[in-house]
Every structure is written in structure tokens, then in C-alpha cells.
């Protein structure tokens, strides 16, 4: 019985250790889209030497090095939002969700009408290596945030577009 318990525990940890290789975009969009990791390579790449990660108390927790990725804005530009008028786009928000349920939020204006959108990255490389070969999987970072850890999403698996009700 003890061995059965250990095997079950091992399988449970193995399932949690899987990295994300696809990203689904759904919600208030014309159609749900699934983007494979390799599809991200078709977007214009952006590189950063390093990014310090600070928690909400502004305590340095770690530092990411040799980053390469694509702008979240560029990926979202490929999606058709479900709107009748561009005027209502200001009512939209984007929820980025990790496979463990961790969520972060951006407003439509933050992504498409501010410096945040010019910097929020979906990482394809971390430490000079592909993210799908690392435990973090597809990663989202926002270098312009002061507390960069708040919107540091590991194993990003889904982006849901919603409209304020």
C-alpha cells in the first residue's frame, strides 16, 4: 500500500510539472484561437538582457536573464474582438491565466494605448533557452511594472477577453 501511495504521489507531481505549449484566446472574440508555441516564432521578436523580479513589497525575489519573446499586443492584434464600434473597446479587459489558475489583468487601453502594451512580453526564451524546455513553460512578463512579480505568469495557458458589464 505504501508503494501504491508513492506511485500516486509521483504521478501527481509529474502531471503538475508539465509545461504549457499552447495558448488559447477566448471570450469576447469573433472565434476562439489556439496558438502553438512554434506559432509565436512568426511574430517580431523582442529581446531583454535581464529583468529583476520584485514582489508587491518591492523586495527583489529573482532576476530573469537572456529573455526573448513577442509582444502580447502583437499576438492580440491577430484576434478580432467582438465589438460593433471601436468606442466600446475601452470597456474590454484581458485576463491572462496560468495553468495553475493564477490570473493577471490588463485593460484594453493598457495594452493598446500605453507604454505597458509596448513592453508586455510573452517569453519564448529564458536564460537563452526555449521556455518549453523549462518548468516555466510559456511565460508572460511586464517589464514596465514596478512590482514585476505581480504580472509574472508562468505556464501561461489562456487569455480571456471580457467586456465590463
pLDDT (tens digit per residue) in 98-152: 999 999 999 999 999 999 999 999 999 999 999 999 999 999 999 999 999 999 9
Q: Copy the grid coordinates of residue 122.
A: 510573452
Over residues 75-79, the mean pLDDT reads 95
Cell (9 digits) for 56? 508587491
pLDDT at 9 over 50: no
Q: If you average pLDDT over residues 8-14, what whole number do you get? A: 48
Per-residue confidence band for 18, with pLDDT thresholds at 50, 70 and 90: confident
Mean per-residue pLDDT, 13-31: 82
Percent of the chain with pLDDT over 90: 84
Q: How far apart are CA 55 and CA 66, in angstroms?
A: 21
**Which pTM value belongs to this model?**
0.86
Q: What is the Cα–Cα distance from 33 to 30, expressed in whole angstroms? A: 9
- The C-alpha angle with vertex 123 and arms to 36 and 30, in degrees rounded to 5, equals 45
Structural domains of the chain in order of their starting residue, each with its CATH number: 19-163 (3.90.420.10)
- pLDDT score recorded for residue 17: 57
Q: Which residues pair with 54 in a beta bridge?
A: 60
Span 76-96, average pLDDT: 93
In this prediction, residue 165 carries a pLDDT of 87
**pLDDT range class, residue 90, cuts 50, 70, 90:** very high
Q: Is the pLDDT of residue 61 over 70?
A: yes
Total count of residues recorded for the chain: 165
pLDDT in the model for residue 1: 57
More confident residue, 13 or 69: 69
pLDDT score of 158? 98
Amino acid at each position: 500500500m505504501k508503494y501504491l501511495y508513492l506511485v500516486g504521489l509521483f504521478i501527481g507531481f509529474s502531471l503538475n510539472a508539465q509545461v504549457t505549449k499552447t495558448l488559447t484566446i477566448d471570450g469576447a472574440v469573433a472565434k476562439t484561437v489556439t496558438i502553438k508555441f512554434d506559432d509565436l516564432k512568426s511574430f517580431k521578436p523582442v529581446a531583454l538582457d535581464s529583468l529583476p523580479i520584485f514582489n508587491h513589497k518591492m523586495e527583489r525575489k529573482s532576476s530573469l536573464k537572456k529573455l526573448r519573446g513577442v509582444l502580447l499586443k502583437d499576438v492580440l492584434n491577430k484576434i478580432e474582438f467582438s465589438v460593433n464600434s471601436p468606442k466600446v473597446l475601452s470597456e474590454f479587459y484581458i485576463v491572462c491565466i496560468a495553468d495553475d489558475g493564477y490570473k493577471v489583468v490588463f485593460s484594453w487601453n493598457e495594452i493598446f494605448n500605453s507604454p505597458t502594451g509596448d513592453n508586455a512580453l510573452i517569453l519564448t526564451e529564458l536564460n537563452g533557452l526555449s521556455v518549453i524546455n523549462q518548468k516555466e513553460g510559456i511565460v508572460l512578463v511586464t517589464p514596465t511594472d514596478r512590482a514585476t512579480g505581480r504580472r509574472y505568469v508562468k505556464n501561461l495557458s489562456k487569455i480571456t477577453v471580457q467586456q465590463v458589464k
